[in-house]
Structures are given as C-alpha cells and as structure tokens.
Amino acid sequence: MTARDLIAYATGSVLGYRVRTLLTLLAMGIGVASVVALTALGEGARRYVTGEFKSLGTHLLIVLPGRSETKGGAPPLMGETPRDLTLDDALAIDRSRAVRRIAPIAVGSAGVSYREREREVTVLGTTASFIEVRHLKMASGRFLPEGDPRRASPVCVLGAKLKRELFDAGPAIGRWVRIGDRRFRVLGILASEGRSIGVDIEDIVIIPVAAAQSLFDTYSLFRVLVEARSEEAIPRARQAIRDTIRQRHEGEDDVTVITQDAVVATFNRIFTALTLTVAGIASISLVVAGILIMNVMLVAVSQRTSEVGLLKALGATSGAIMRVFLAEATILSLVGAAAGVVVGYAGIRIVDRFYPVLSLSAPAWAIASAVLVALTTGLLFGVLPARRAARLDPVAALAGR
Amino acid sequence: MIQLRRARRYFIVGEQTVRALDDIDLDVAAGEYVAITGPSGSGKSTLLNAIGLLDRLTGGSYLLEGTDVTNFSDDELARTRREKIGFVFQFFHLVPRLTAAQNVELPLTLAGVEPAERRQRVEKALAGLGLSDRARHLPNQLSGGQRQRVAIARATVTRPQVILADEPTGNLDRASGRDVVEILEELNSSGITLLMVTHDPELAARAAREIRMVDGMIASDGRPGSRP
Ligand SMILES: Nc1ncnc2c1ncn2[C@@H]1O[C@H](COP(=O)(O)OP(=O)(O)O)[C@@H](O)[C@H]1O
Ligand SMILES: [Mg+2]
C-alpha cells in the first residue's frame, strides 16, 4: 500500500465516522488552543512588564541606601542600619564622566490643600533633571527650575489627578497651594501617563528635593536615579557610584545599585517560567485528548473487526493494518491541532481587540511544541489500538460479522 | 495445486479438544470445481480457511502449487493470499463506506498496483459482472445478489488461481443464488480452481467433485451424489 493510498483510505474512514471524528477534533482542538492562548497571555504579560521597565528610562541605574547582597533584588528590609544617602552624595555621583544626569529622590506623604479642599498624596522631592530621567511630559506650565538643588524654593508641580481634584477645570498655574504647613506656588501640571510603575505619577506633587527634605525633616534620600551616558557606560557608572560612595562613607560602599537590565532580566525569567508552567498545565489537556483518541480508536477497532478481517483476507499484512490505524490517529490529531491553532489565534485576536495594551501574540515555539505534542500523543495513544487491530485473528474477525 | 497431508486443526475449548480437521489428506488439481458439503460443524469452513491461509494447521503439511506453505511467516502468508487466493463470503463483507468500485479496488490498492491500472482493471471486473452502472453505489444501495457480485469482482480482480467460496449463496434468494453460482462456474471454466462450501445438494450436484465432511474427516470424495 503506497503512502498516498494509505492516507486516502485513512481519511475515508475518518470522514466516515463523523461523531467520533468531531469529538476527537474537539478534544485535541481545545488542548492545542489552550496551550496557544495561555502562552500568548504569558508572553504578553512578560513583554508588558519588561516594556514598563524599559519606559522608566534607558541606561538607568538606581541607587538605594544600604547594601543588598542579592543582585538585582529588592531593597534590603533588614540588616545593619546604613549610612544615609545624602544629597551631597548624589551631587558627587553627578560629577562622574560616565554619568549624564542624576535625579535625587526624597519621598514622603503630606496633605495638599487649596482653599477648603485637601488631599493626602505622595510628595516627591527631586530636581529639574527628573523629568528627563523619567521621560515625563508636561500637560501645561513648566517643571521644577534648574538651579542649585540645595535651594528649597517654594514651587511645585502637580499630577493630573491631583490637579483635577483640587482645582476641577479651573486654572492652577500661578496659584498657591499648602503642602503640610508651607505654601508652594504651582509651576505646572504633569501630563497623564498611560502607564507607570511604582509611584502613581497622576496622584502626586513634586517639589524641589531640598524643600522635601526640610518638609520631612530628613537628610536622607529615598534613592538616586542615575542615567549613564550610554549603554556601554553603565558598568563604568556603576563603578563610579561605588567609588564615590566609598570615598564619602569612610571606605564603605553601603549602597545598592540596581541596573535596569538586572531588573528586566529578573522579570523576564519570572515570566518565562510562568509561561512555561502555564503551557505545561495546558499540555495536560493534550494528554487527555490523546487518551480520548486512544479510546475512540479502540472503539473503532472493535467496530471494524470484520473490516480488519477482510483486509487480512485480501492480503494486508499486520504492518499494513497497523499503518492504517496509525494514519487515522495521526490525521485526527493533526487536524485537531490545526483547528486548535486556528481557535487559539482567534481567541488571541479577540482578547487583543479589547486589551490592546497587552499586545498578545503566541510565540512560535509554543505553537510548534503544541502541534508536536498533539501529534506525539495522537501517535503514542494510537499505537495500542493499532496493534490490537493488527493482531486480530482474521478467521475470528470475519466470523464476528 | 492443493495438497494437504494429515492436516489437522484442533481447537481447545475449556477442557475439551475440538477436532475441527482430523488428519485430512486432500489433493485438488488446478482448474477443478469442488463442492464441499456436510452437516453444520463438520469442519467445512475450517478446511476452507486453512486452504485460504487465513488459519494455520495444528499439524500436518500443506503444499500450494508445489510450495510448502506450512511454516510460512505471517507476512509471507499475507502475500500469498494477496497473489493467489480470492475469497467469497456468505456475508459479502463489503466495506460499507466504500462504493462498489472502491471495494473492488481494495485488494489492488493493498497490493500497491498503480492507480491507472487499478481503474482499468476495476472497470473490467465490474463490467464482466454486469455492474458497470452500479460502480458508484454504496453497498447498502445494492441488492444481496448485486453485493455478492461485487464481492466476486473483488475476489477476481487480482486474477487469483483459486477462489474459495464459503456458502456464497447462503444469504441469497434462489434466483440470485443461481446467478452467483453461474458466475463462479464461468470463472472456473476460464481456468480458476473453485472450492465452494454449500448446504444445497442441488448446487453441489453441479460440481465435478463433491467432498462430504463429517466430524472433521472426509466421509466421501467423488462425483456428486455418490455415497460410499
Ligand atoms: N475458533 C474456534 N474455537 C473453537 N472451536 C471452533 C472454532 N472454530 C470452529 N470451531 C469448531 O470446529 C468445528 C468446525 O467448525 P466449522 O469449520 O465452522 O464448521 P462448518 O463450517 O462445517 O459448519 C465446530 O465444532 C466448531 O465449533
Ligand atoms: Mg461454516
């Protein structure tokens, strides 16, 4: 029997038993579709999160007070009390040639009021370069002025939401708001940012870092954002930060420097693992589909014993019979897998329509492996029924009518 | 052509041994027309299946066209069936989802014959049995007689040397039964060896030779109707 005849014969019987074919296609299809859809979700989430981090700024290093031994991990919560990271430290770092600009950050929380309205928000103290380091845009007015960072000028920039809540649609620029027990003049309003990580840039007020330090009565910075001159300069910048801090902190570089790459890489790893796990779980449904195919094929063999007997009487070898049934199982799983890929893609398209921000797409490796697993299970679970068919005694098979 | 020596086929059923063929000696020459008769359970089908290589002997030897096939492997048996033997069954055994033409084509497909030649031979076989206008019909759209004719076309399309028919008229009315036998006899007169199991003494009487089986043994062998 040639391969073409084999396929034609197997296709004929696949088409001849509609219900059984539809059932197996359904099972295989659901299995493959879920693998495709779930990996697409995992991949989408991964890209979303790493994209978020990238949007924080390029060539960015983050300096935190205190040393953390885990590379690229979270800031230390416990351990020795580190020396404060001060504004002078930050300005010293700025002098390195590997560093383009820095933005020191001091944070706290305070009530912000205008006339009788008051809101409790995050107060972020920083310098003029923050807007460049974080790639923010202004909706109106201007950002903090350049100048000596040590000067605590009474000016502020409002987040879009805070502005709405204090002023409604009315003009805000040039007005005086009260933050804590001091008065600040509004310089500008931040544009609402589509996405943000960490601090909510909408519900925030930004003041000069020196003003924040005096408002919260502290010399310590929350962190320092450092932008390296280029991608290649990142290691040099890191070294410069360490050297500077060691010099200023009596020989101890008691800070943690997180590069964005490290953070992104960590998230990448986490999400890839997550995607693989989810895909693995979805593959279980493929195995279930394989078992269904086995069942269906076993029923097919017992329904068609007389056909098997006839084929043997007409001179088919056991090998030929085996190939016929394996071809059927393969066709079932192949078509099921194809249907699953189509359904999975359709699902992705639909989700993409409603949540374009995730920009879903199934990775090629997921589709390839789903189809491969479908084929393998189909074949694997097809072997047992095919062998049963091949071993049938032709006399008994024919007598069974 | 066919030479059985002390051929036996035992079935073990529980504690008992059923001697379906009990040391049978049988010689059939090429081109013979043999009717096999006997009561139910006497071993007629078992004999035919053994000759058709669907079943293996428990003991004894079997020479087919001078070749000892007793110890052939399964694949050799399959090939020999494919090349030399045609079966006609009581219950037709057509594949229900295949058309008449596709059913006839099946043994050629299994033998790996080229599609073009297949089509030609199927057409000829169907025409020879007056089934050309039924080629595209499914088995359930055919009468019993027509189905058996399709089965005969299928048995002959490979040009076998032997046709083995196990009660080919057992499921047919008298008229179509007679039709079918006449077709088989025509094939025999063209040189094909014909062995036919039948219950019907009238049909057996048409053969040149009748083998009567009783309890797995040959009770009589000779001209039809003759009793020892
Ligand atoms: N597969 C089998 N297992 C057990 N006994 C069998 C089997 N096939 C046939 N027999 C027995 O062998 C004997 C001959 O059967 P068979 O050749 O079918 O008879 P016939 O065709 O003459 O009616 C019967 O007694 C039958 O019960
Ligand atoms: Mg019988």
DSSP-derived secondary structure for A269-331: HHHHHHHHHHHHHHHHHHHHHHHHHHHHHHHHHHHTHHHHHHHHHTT--HHHHHHHHHHHHHH
Answer yes or no: do A206 and A99 share one domain: yes
Mean pLDDT in residue range B179-193:
95
Does B110 contact A306 at a Cβ distance shorter than 8 Å? no
Of A12, A313, A320, which is closest to B87 when you measure between CB atoms? Answer: A313
In the numeric block, the tokens 């085996």 are attached to A322
Q: Please indicate if any CB of chain A lies within 8 Å of the CB of B11.
A: no
Distance between CA atoms of residues A328 and A7, nearest Å: 8
**Closest to A129 in 3D by CA, of A107, A158, A109, A99:** A99
**Amino acid, res. A136:** L
> How high is the pLDDT of residue B44?
96
- Of A133, A174, A171, A129, nearest to A155 (Cα)? A174
CB contact under 8 A, B93 and A316: no
Kind and range of the H or E run holding B166: strand B162-166
* Residue B25, SS3 per DSSP: strand
**Within-domain flag for A334:** yes
Q: How many Å is the Cα radius of gyration of chain A? A: 33
Buried b (16+ CB within 10 A) or exposed e, B100-131: bbbbbbbbbbbbebeeeebeebbeebbebbeb
Smallest CA-to-CA distance from B167 within B22, B37, B52, B30 is with B37
Amino acid at B124: K
Whether the pTM exceeds 0.95: the reply is no
Ligand 1 atom 25 nearest Cα: B41
Instruction: Supply A158's token pair.
Output: 């409002």
Report pLDDT digits (tens) over B42-89.
999 999 999 999 999 999 999 999 999 999 999 999 999 999 999 999
User: Cβ of B89 and A398 within 8 Å?
Assistant: yes
CATH number assigned to the domain covering B2-222:
3.40.50.300
Q: Ligand 1 pocket: which of A393, A395, A401 to mutate (most atoms <8 Å of CB)?
A: A395
Residue A182 located in a structural domain: yes
Q: How many domains does chain A have?
A: 2
Residues from A contacting B (CB-CB < 8 Å) are 1-2, 5, 9, 12-13, 16, 306-307, 309-320, 394-395, 398, 401
Task: Give the span between the Cα atoms of B3 and B30, in whole angstroms.
Answer: 11
Q: What is the pLDDT of residue A401?
A: 44
The answer to whether residue A64 sits within a structural domain is no
Q: How far is B83 from chain A (nearest CA, A)?
A: 8
Query: Does B159 lie at the interface with A, CB-CB under 8 angstroms?
Result: no
Average pLDDT over residues B187-202: 94
A153 and A181 in a single domain? The answer is yes
The CA distance from A168 to A142, in Å, is 19
Structural domain of A386: 3-52+265-398
- A71 inside domain: no
The pLDDT score that the predictor gives to residue B17 is 94
pLDDT of residue A50: 76
Q: Which atom of ligand 1 is nearest to the CA of B47?
A: 17
Residues A248 and A273 in one domain: no
Judged by CB atoms closer than 8 Å, whether chains meet at A401 and B52 is answered as no
Q: Which residues of chain A lie closer than 8 angstroms to B87, CB-CB?
A: 313-314
The last residue of a domain, from among A198, A232, A253? A253
Question: What whole-number distance in Å separates Cα of residue A213 and Cα of residue A219?
Answer: 6
Q: Which residue among B45, B90, B212, B218 is best mutated to probe the pocket of ligand 1, counting the most ligand atoms within 8 A of its Cβ? A: B45
Using an 8 Å CB-CB cutoff, list chain B residues near A16.
Answer: 97
Same domain, A343 and A211: no
Q: What are phi and psi of B6, to 5 degrees?
A: 45, 40
Write the residue with the smallest CA distance to atom 3 of ligand 1: B11
A340 within a domain of the structure (yes/no): yes
Report strand pairing: B2-13 vs B16-28. Answer: antiparallel
Same domain, A279 and A363: yes
The protein residues having their C-beta less than 5 angstroms from ligand 2 (an ion) are B 45
d(CA B130, CA B149): 9
A153/A294 same-domain check: no
User: What is the structure's pLDDT at A142?
Assistant: 94
Judge if A383 and A273 occupy the same domain: yes
Distance of CA A373 to the CA centre of its chain: 25
- Mutate which of B93, B119, B162 to disrupt the A interface (most A C-beta within 10 Å)? B93
Interacting residues of A183 by C-beta distance below 8 A, sequence separation 6+: A154, A176, A177
A116 shares a domain with A27: no
Q: Whose CA is nearest to atom 7 of ligand 1?
A: B11
Across chain B, what does the average pLDDT equal?
94
Longest dimension (CA), chain A: 103
pLDDT attached to residue A345: 86
Residue with tokens 């979303």: A48
DSSP state of A220: B
Residue predicted with more confidence, B136 or A24: B136
Q: In 3-state terms, what secondary structure has residue B211?
A: strand
- Looking at the DSSP assignment, which residues form a beta bridge with residue A113? A118, A178
Indicate the residue of A9, A315, A320 with minimum beta-carbon distance to B81: A315
Question: Ligand 1 pocket by C-beta < 6 Å: which residues?
Answer: B 11, 13, 18, 20, 38, 40-46
Residue A67 resides in a domain: no
Query: Is position A78 within any domain?
Result: no
Q: Which of helix, strand or coil describes residue A75?
A: coil
Q: What is the ipTM of this complex?
A: 0.94
Last residue of a domain, one of A229, A253, A277: A253
The C-alpha of B63 sits at a distance from chain A's nearest C-alpha, in angstroms, of: 19
Report CB contact under 8 Å: A311, B106: yes
Q: Is B136 on the interface with A (CB under 8 A)?
A: no
Measure in Å the smallest separation between the Cα of B181 and chain A Cα atoms. 21
* Proportion of chain B above pLDDT 70, given as a percent: 99
C-alpha distances (whole Å) from A132 to each of A55, A63, A154 are 12, 17, 21
Residue A201 shares a structural domain with residue A286:
no
Contact between chains at B81 and A401 (C-beta distance less than 8 A): no
Do A333 and A293 touch, CB atoms closer than 8 A? yes
CA dist A302 → A352, A400, B182 (Å): 46, 10, 36
Q: Is B132 on the interface with A (CB under 8 A)?
A: no
Spatial CB neighbours of A213, under 8 Å, sequence gap ≥ 6: A87, A106, A125, A152, A219
d(CA A142, CA A173): 9
Per DSSP, the three-state class of A176 is strand
Name the domain boundary from A220, A253, A286: A253
Q: What does the domain layout of chain B look like in residue ranges?
A: 2-222
Rounded CA-CA distance A314/B107 in Å is 6
Number of Cβ within a 10 Å radius of residue A113: 15
Same domain, A126 and A206: yes
Q: Locate the ligand 1 atom nearest the alpha carbon of residue B42 and give its number.
A: 22
Query: What residues contact A354, with CB distance under 8 A and at least 6 apart?
Result: none
With H, G, I as helix, E, B as strand and everything else as coil, classify residue A231.
coil
What is residue A57's predicted lDDT score, i.e. its pLDDT? Answer: 61
For residue A77, being part of any structural domain is answered with no
Same domain, A221 and A271: no
The tokens for A198 are 């960490």
User: Average pLDDT in the B18-34 region?
Assistant: 95
Mean pLDDT by 10 residues, chain A (401 residues): 90 87 86 85 81 71 76 50 84 92 93 93 94 87 92 94 92 94 94 63 92 91 90 88 90 84 79 84 81 83 90 94 92 88 87 77 79 84 90 89 44
